[in-house]
Amino acid sequence: MSPIDAFGRPQTVLLLGATSDIGRAIVARMVDAKGGTAILAGRDPKRHQGKPLGTETHHLYFDAADFSSHEKFFSETFTEYPRIDTVILAFGVLHNQDEVDDYPELAVEMANVNHVGAGSALLQAANRLRHRGGGQIVVLSSVAGLRPRQSNYVYGASKAGIDFLARGLSRSVAAADVHILLVRPGFVHSKMTAGMVPRPFSVTPETVAKAVVDALARRDRVVWVPSALRWVMGAVRLLPQSIVDRLDG
């Protein structure tokens, strides 16, 4: 059985991507006034210690791009914190497409972090929770990964990879009481998108957090934020690529 309590509340939440505005908002909503423990993991533990989350909080070092360290990190973390029942994958890299066109190494960085690193962490987390007896994993994807657009196709490609993996893995671990929620937000006002021109249907990290917690309670496999994007993107997928390119101009 999953270690999540009878009311669906997580006991210990592990956030990978500790400086993520969206990730922190999700953790805050999960543990606010409910007790529990938050573990914030990222490359710079000193930067994690921003606004208090209102609960017991621990800070760990985790490098998404250092794949060789992932097995050790998860082994040690799940041993030290045996009540982990929720893992949130919220780390990511977003470079301007114009910069990526001039410096291909930036594309490699996005692929390594957003796809390969996220995939490695997802598989490690799912394996630990499966052997633990269950739990839940939140994977931050993006609508950018659903249809190539000239303004961010490299970022979109990196998100498409983790999106595909999460959907496939979700079915294979369901029998072990491990629930994977794939989150597909549109434009989110955050540190990552600072300076960018907001897109239609823009939301805040807090809006994403509420949608995630509600979706987990319903045991949804995919949540769109805002929900209208499900229908918008369904229509966009049917459009010829030439029209999509003009809309992106």
Q: Are 18 and 24 in contact (CB under 8 A)?
A: yes
The active-site residue, picked from 81, 103, 153, 155, is 155
To the nearest 10 degrees (0 to 180), the angle between helices 21-31 and 205-218 is 50
HSE value, Cβ hemisphere, 13 Å, CA-based, for 68: 0
Closest CA to 35 of 72, 83, 70, 74: 83
**DSSP three-state, residue 185:** strand
Bridge partners (DSSP) listed for residue 225: 185
Cβ atoms < 10 Å from Cβ of 52:
8
Annotated catalytic residue 155: yes
Amino acid letter, 188: V
Per-residue CA distances from 119 to 70, 137, 153, 168 (Å): 11, 12, 19, 12
Cβ atoms < 10 Å from Cβ of 65:
14
Contacts of 208 (CB under 8 A, 6+ apart): 22, 25, 26, 183, 185, 188, 225
Give catalytic residues, as residue numbers: 155
